[in-house]
Amino acid sequence: MFTILLLLLPCILLHLVNFLLGRAEFPSSTLELKHEEAPQAVPSSSIPETLDFDVFLSFRGEDTRNSFTDHLYHGLNLKGIDTFMDEERLERGKPIAPKLLKAIEHSKFAVVVLSEDYASSTWCLDELAHIVQCMKGGRLKVFPVFYHIEASTVRKQTGNYGKAFAKHDENFKKEKRKVKKWRRALTRVAEVAGWDLKNRKESEVIEEIANRISNILNDELSSSNNDLIGMDSRIKKMEEYLALCRSDDVRTIGIWGFGGIGKTTLANEVFKKIRNQFDAKCFVSSVREESTKVNGLVGMQKSLFATLLHCNEDIQNADLGIQLLRTRLRNKRVLIVLDDVDKLDQIKALADESWLGPGSRVIITTREKHELDSCGLLADSIYEVDKLKIGEDSQLFCRKAFKENDAPHDYKELSKKYVEYAGGIPLALIVLGSYLRGKNVIEWSEAFDRLDEDPEEDIMNVLKISFDALKGTVKQIFLDIACFFNGENQVRVKKILESCRFYPTSGMRDLLDKALIKINERNELWMHDLLRKMGQDIVHRQFPNEPGKRSRLWINENAYKRNRSWHDKVLAENTGTTAVEGIFLILLAKEEIQLDADPFAKMCNLRLLKICNVNFSRCPEYFSKELRLLEWHEYPLESLPSSFKPCQLVELKMPNSRITQLWHESCTMMENLVQMDLSNCKFLIKTPDFRKVPNLERLILEGCEKLSEVHATIGDLQRLVVLNMGRCESLESLPHSISLKSLKTFNLSGCSKLKEFPEIVGNMEALSELFLDGTAIRTLPASIQQLRGLFWINLSRCKNLTCLPMAICSMTSLRYIYMSGWLFVPCKTATTEVPVESSVSAEHKDELAESSVSTEHREMESSVLFNELATEEI
């Protein structure tokens, strides 16, 4: 008897465990677990004790294991996202193992694939309940995927979910709290913004999920910056101000301080830390600068819609944008940061508290405390960013100067002097430390003596130390960026500065090393406001009362007030001199300037000229032969002056001008010219001889409605990368053949009279995008197969196109043919085989093959014939 009891003891214990969990006495529940299958990935038995996954996948194996979830798992891993996908699901009928729970707890994200029968699985529901528990406090970010099921069905537990819970209510009569917990978990997850696969391609959704998680992980990685000294205490203080534990109220917090004190950095770090606690979030940068642009507030409102609501709204004016935002955000818990605000109307147009749902938070950074007061913010809602504490300032300086937390013995006293001089201002500490890095003690001492000679407590003097130490041409680069090129693409600026013999590659490296500029993720030059103001002040001080003798003159949305009044004196009164090297006259509204003489006649050293929204009473006819950049919107003459010798020109931009013929045949060679923009020149009849511009890289002729003739030499521009002739409605023909080996983008969209596409001669493998939509082209030459790198071709609205050469099927790089809106007349002559590499969509693969031997007209209803192979392989 005792032996029998020993043999039965494991079964009795197992039955007891299952009974306590509500499984043993309910056959239907156990039966459900027997049907539950699992995906292939990291087996739960092999999960290490210490876990650190990026993503945990929750799903019902029988529904999606071999389809969507498997593709999602591989898509995430292709992005380098460490993903846990349970394969074994342990022994059927047993509770979830502690190691599987740890996988959830040690993951940063959970993606829950809610399928039709997800709620029928008690395993899935237990898993989901633990996921929701881990959501508290922002420990785990959850993304639901509604796999062919409505979110409302999940949220309200209707349909199949209702049927499943009817069974659970019956089977778990003694564990009503458990069933209630499952219901709450489903409702909570269904309320989170996620993805709905209804009427969408799985590959697109998978790519969106992978990109979203990848971006968040990248942001978190970049936020772990060792140089953010003193940030922890500031973030803690901000969290107190934000009072995130109060989930019902809406709160606005202001971050106030002068430029360079670290307002934006603090706002950015707080945003990164708390953003996962909100339904939607948006960081709006450079509000002050953006709002000065035409329709700047409307543009930022559109960005809010795109980021917070994932939609594009047609906003005509700021008032309409306010109404739409108020309507759409009132039930959403959102986080909005408005960076660098300087006017109350910016706040009212972008993030008024009265629009936002309960628990929302708005963070505003500004230099103007009175704007926060005008918002009605009390003292306990305004955080004044103070200078770094003693010890923090020294640590930050030493990190930049020595890449250590402390100074070497020989530098300790000098380091102490520099830290004291910087006064705890982060930007000053960074700039000074970066400048002094690698210099010896004597150089440190001399540099400090120069500082000591001017004891004025003005931050400009602190920053100017680094400028004074720059070499001659590097100073010129700095001043050009400060006055003209902040926010511009660095590659483009380098080409201009190279032609000025400023050696920008080494020069910009020097500026980067000294923290005087940065290059952002869009490859744009970025200079801090204080540094830019310092550079502009240096130019202004050259001749404070005689602007015609300064090296650089500018009026634009970024110009400081005292730099906005020079144009009457210099241009109208003709006081310009040979000292002037650059003029950027960019007005937000049309303005007329009366001229008694040609104001540019004396400016023989002018390198850079940009004019926008200016009408001169008489058009200047003299341009310096030193010009590298000539950009004149709505240029009033029919051609460039015959006396102009543009041998140094790098960029020529004259959009919306009255040009009919760009230059005369006697015009000199322009070997440095790389970019020409004549877009929307509605009077341009023909293009010039392109042999004069052999190194041209970008040619923009879009919208030249009367352009009927293109010089044959266009086909010989071996360095041309972009050729845009879209909407040239009078263009009837192109050269018989082209050989543009560097061309990547070729746009003929909307050339409604163009009937023939040129023969491809030689190597044009660089071309990846070809836009022929809306043309009158009847056929494509067989030589199009020479475009071996072609990825995309748009043939929509080509109503005269009756045949595609089957040679197109041998183009293995081709992924998309956009061909809606025309009748496809198949060719008989070529092979019926469609290459696997081109990945013709299933619905059209047979159609295309049949078309090679059929003579029937066939309406092509699909807009995309070729799908991207990569998405099918996820």
With b for 16 or more beta-carbon neighbours within 10 A and e for fewer, the 272-285 pattern comes to bebbbbbbbbbbbb
Q: Are strands 823-824 and 858-859 parallel, antiparallel or unpaired?
A: antiparallel
CA dist 714 and 441 (Å) reads: 59
Locus of tokens 């790098």: 650
* Nearest alpha-carbon partner for 304 in 326, 275, 289, 276: 326
Q: Based on the number of CB atoms within 10 Å of its own CB, is 293 exposed (0-12), middle (13-18) or buried (19 or more)?
A: middle
* Nearest alpha-carbon partner for 675 in 735, 719, 739: 719
**Distance from chain centroid for Cα 394:** 35
CA dist 252 and 361 (Å) reads: 6
CA dist 466 and 328 (Å) reads: 49
CA dist 318 and 341 (Å) reads: 16
**Distance from chain centroid for Cα 599:** 41
- Tokens, residue 671: 């070997």
CA dist 163 and 682 (Å) reads: 67
* φ and ψ at residue 719, rounded to 5 degrees: -105, 5
- Are 127 and 96 within 8 A, CB to CB? yes
Secondary element (H or E) of residue 186: helix 176-190
How far CA 733 is from CA of 15, 108, 636, 712, 802, in Å, comes to 85, 58, 28, 10, 19
Q: Are strands 823-824 and 816-818 parallel, antiparallel or unpaired?
A: unpaired
**Per DSSP, which regions of 343-400 are E strands?**
361-366, 382-384
How far CA 866 is from CA of 229, 780, 842, in Å, comes to 52, 18, 10
CA dist 92 and 854 (Å) reads: 57
Q: Active-site residue among 36, 127, 207, 631?
A: 127
* Nearest alpha-carbon partner for 283 in 261, 306, 262, 260: 306
Please indicate whether residue 91 is annotated as part of the active site: no
58 beta partners: 112
* Nearest alpha-carbon partner for 727 in 747, 742, 749, 758: 749
Q: Based on the number of CB atoms within 10 Å of its own CB, is 647 exposed (0-12), middle (13-18) or buried (19 or more)?
A: middle
Cα 772–Cα 776–Cα 778 angle in degrees, nearest 5:
90
How far CA 815 is from CA of 79, 219, 819, in Å, comes to 21, 32, 13
609 beta partners: 583, 630
CA-CA-CA-CA torsion sign (65, 66, 68, 73): positive
Contacts of 71 (CB under 8 A, 6+ apart): 202, 203, 206, 874
CA dist 485 and 652 (Å) reads: 16
- Are 460 and 530 within 8 A, CB to CB? yes
CA dist 447 and 401 (Å) reads: 14
CA dist 336 and 284 (Å) reads: 7
The runs of H, that is alpha helices, within 224-367 are: 231-242, 263-274, 287-291, 296-304, 318-329, 344-350
Number of residues that make up the chain? 874
CA dist 399 and 860 (Å) reads: 63
Active site amino acids = 127
